[in-house]
């Protein structure tokens, strides 16, 4: 008989798709889901970067595959979800992690930068949720985890498109929960704090801004991709079956400061 932890947190037999998982937060979350027993589909725009991740996950004793797609193109997003479902005939877990950022003062923020960010961070997320949601509604179960941000709650500096997109992801998470929770689908989000990733490289390199950020984090350190492992497994597993429409901050205490 499976142990309590296996019953509540185990993901054996589940199929998960993690977008933007060739590196950073996405790769860490994909690895955590695989360690919990899920078969995992990784995604990115460059197939060459996905191959090593597939090999790493396969070595954990689960099935893994890669589907390259550009999350800024609606047709590509739809194809990604269709192929993810076709891989083993079902999709149980969708993690909408792929995202981009453009750092420019609002007065100089171009239409091209705004559109690029909104297309990936919001339109891509909604398109993926809609396509996966249709499949999950028909099956009567599913877990959707959107990756929000601290800027879901705050405005940020020189990233108006990113802040707008992540604020919208938080509201989208709640809107989908309102419609789908009764259908057996849990829609939640994780709002990572300041993490050591490529997206925050400019902040880490800015001595003044980096010091300001670090001084406000009660944990007194930047987050690492591995800090999301527990949260993602919890939200993807039966342990969170009565949690829906929640945006979980994994931020070292930033929001409580």
Span 48-91, pLDDT tens digits: 999 999 999 999 999 999 999 999 999 999 999 999 999 999 99
Mean pLDDT of the chain: 96
- Per-residue model confidence as pLDDT tens digits over 217-257: 999 999 999 999 999 999 999 999 999 999 999 999 999 98
100-109: b or e for each residue (b if 16 or more CB lie within 10 Å)? bbbeeeeeeb
Indicate the angle between helix axes 74-88 and 124-139, nearest 10 degrees. 30
Specify the CATH number of the domain 4-251. Answer: 3.40.50.720
> Rounded to whole angstroms, what are the CA distances from 89 to 81, 85, 109, 146, 185?
11, 5, 43, 22, 18
Annotated catalytic residue 242:
no
- Per-residue model confidence as pLDDT tens digits over 86-107: 999 999 999 999 999 999 999 9
Q: Residue 148 has what pLDDT?
A: 98
**SS3 of residue 229 by DSSP:** helix
Q: Residue 197 has what pLDDT?
A: 86
User: What single-letter DSSP state applies at residue 122?
Assistant: I
User: What single-letter DSSP state applies at residue 223?
Assistant: B
Percent of the chain with pLDDT over 70: 100
Strand order across the 15-18 sheet: 64-68, 39-44, 15-18, 93-96, 142-147, 185-192, 247-250
Range of weakest confidence among 6-10, 125-129, 209-213, 218-222: 209-213
Question: How much is the average pLDDT of 18-37?
Answer: 98
Contact 73, 120 (CB under 8 A): no
Q: Residue 198 has what pLDDT?
A: 81
Q: Residue 146 has what pLDDT?
A: 99
> Rounded to whole angstroms, what are the CA distances from 104 to 164, 168, 229?
14, 20, 31
Q: How many CB atoms lie within 10 A of CB 214?
A: 15
- The larger pLDDT score, comparing residue 11 to residue 212, is at 11
Q: Residue 206 has what pLDDT?
A: 86
- Judged against a pLDDT cut of 90, whether residue 21 lies above it is answered with yes
Which of the following is catalytic: 9, 114, 126, 162? 162
Place of tokens 């205490």: 253
Q: Residue 142 has what pLDDT?
A: 98
Q: Residue 57 has what pLDDT?
A: 98
- Per-residue model confidence as pLDDT tens digits over 181-195: 999 999 999 999 999
- Judged against a pLDDT cut of 80, whether residue 1 lies above it is answered with no
């Amino acid at each position: 008989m499976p142990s309590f932890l296996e019953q509540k947190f185990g993901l054996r037999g589940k199929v998960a798709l993690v977008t933007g998982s060739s590196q950073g937060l996405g790769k860490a979350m994909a690895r955590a889901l695989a360690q919990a027993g899920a078969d995992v589909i990784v995604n990115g725009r460059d197939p060459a970067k996905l191959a090593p991740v597939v090999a790493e996950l396969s070595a954990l004793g689960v099935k893994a595959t890669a589907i390259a797609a550009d999350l800024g193109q609606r047709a590509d997003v739809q194809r990604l979800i269709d192929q993810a479902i076709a891989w083993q005939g079902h999709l149980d877990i969708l993690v909408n992690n792929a995202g981009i950022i453009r750092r420019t003062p609002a007065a100089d923020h171009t239409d091209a930068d705004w559109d690029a960010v909104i297309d990936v961070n919001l339109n891509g997320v909604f398109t993926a949720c809609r396509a996966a949601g249709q499949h999950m509604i028909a099956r009567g179960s599913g877990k959707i985890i959107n990756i929000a941000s601290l800027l879901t709650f705050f405005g940020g500096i020189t990233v108006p498109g990113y802040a707008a997109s992540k604020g919208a992801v938080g509201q989208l998470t709640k809107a989908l929960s309102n419609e789908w929770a009764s259908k057996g689908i849990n829609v939640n989000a994780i709002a990572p704090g300041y993490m050591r990733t490529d997206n925050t490289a400019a902040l880490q390199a800015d001595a003044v801004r980096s010091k300001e950020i670090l001084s406000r984090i009660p944990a007194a350190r930047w987050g690492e991709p591995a800090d999301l492992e527990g949260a993602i497994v919890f939200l993807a597993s039966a342990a969170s079956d009565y949690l829906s429409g929640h945006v979980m901050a994994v931020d070292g205490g930033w929001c409580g400061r």
